[in-house]
Amino acid sequence: MAILIDENSKVVVQGITGREGQFHALRNRDYGTKIVAGTRPGKGGEQVESIPIFNTVQEAIDETGANVALTFVPPAFAKDAVLEAAYADCQLIVCITEGIPAKDEAEMYNLIKNNTKSKLLGPNCPGLISPGKSNVGIMPHEITLPGNVGVVSRSGTLTYQAVHELTQLNIGQSTCIGIGGDPVPGMSFIDILKEYQEDEETNAIVMIGEIGGTAEEEAAEYIKNNITKPVVSYIAGVTAPPGKKMGHAGAIVSGNKGTAKAKMEALEEAGVLVVSNPTKIGKAVKEVI
């Protein structure tokens, strides 16, 4: 099973001729991901290492049956690229691009929600991987292991750290997902938690949050009422000084709202096992499964 992507997902890479787009398209294909197409306006008909390039996502879908879009398009053009994929009915759009203006993110999120059935992951996220099946993003698949723990995180590199801790203890993952740390992410913790709850292959969930916003508090409320599977959590930024921006525009602590402490308490109250350090995640999962 796994969630959102599996061995049957067919991926079209938007911006496949760019440095990152090409590198990760080929790397993911080597892993076994079905990379069936790429897009780059004006380069339709060409190829990247035998992957056909199309001018538009619609053409790519018509010709190859692609159902997932992986977006590496630069910030100034990312909104249009994501909307193009959504209006072409891509089931899932994974936007890796970092540095998209918040206004563009807010606009595209609401346009997709109001007018399409597409799911958007990101922007500014590492994507997702269902180990052994498909890698749609930039996560290093070497650190993953097929199994039954679902991982979801706001941070990229911290996701890798958590997955690494699990794999070191021989605990495999059903799917690992980074939702991104931008002000308006597409899929939220709650959207992903819901998918993991419904997935028969997932037995336990690891959720990694960070300071800023209230996404973790909302997730805690959701877990309390809807999630029956065990959840382990870590919140980054316990020692971050208040009021400082820590790289993600969202990570701004204001008052007690959004602090690591408030988030940890909310999660504990929802029955989540909260650990104080990312290296303790593996052991904690072992405890709950």
What are the catalytic residues?
A: 248
Beta-bridge partner residues of 288: none
Residue 75 CB, nearest distance to other proteins (Å)?
Answer: 7
Instruction: Determine contact, residues 67/81, Cβ cutoff 8 Å.
Output: no
Residue 201 CB, nearest distance to other proteins (Å)?
Answer: 24
Query: Which three-class secondary structure state does DSSP give residue 80?
Result: helix
Q: Positive or negative, the Cα torsion across 39, 123, 158, 288?
A: negative
Cα 139 to Cα 280: distance, rounded to the nearest angstrom: 21
The residue (of 61 and 128) whose beta carbon lies closer to other proteins is 128
Residue 65 CB, nearest distance to other proteins (Å)?
Answer: 28
The residue (of 20 and 201) whose beta carbon lies closer to other proteins is 20
DSSP annotation of 241 reads P
Q: Which residues bind other proteins (CB under 8 A)?
A: 20, 24, 75-76, 98-103, 106-107, 109-111, 114, 126, 138-140, 142-143, 153-161, 164, 181, 183-184, 208, 210-211, 213-215, 218, 234, 236-241, 244-251, 276-279
Residue 254 CB, nearest distance to other proteins (Å)?
Answer: 10
Instruction: Determine contact, residues 4/119, Cβ cutoff 8 Å.
Output: yes
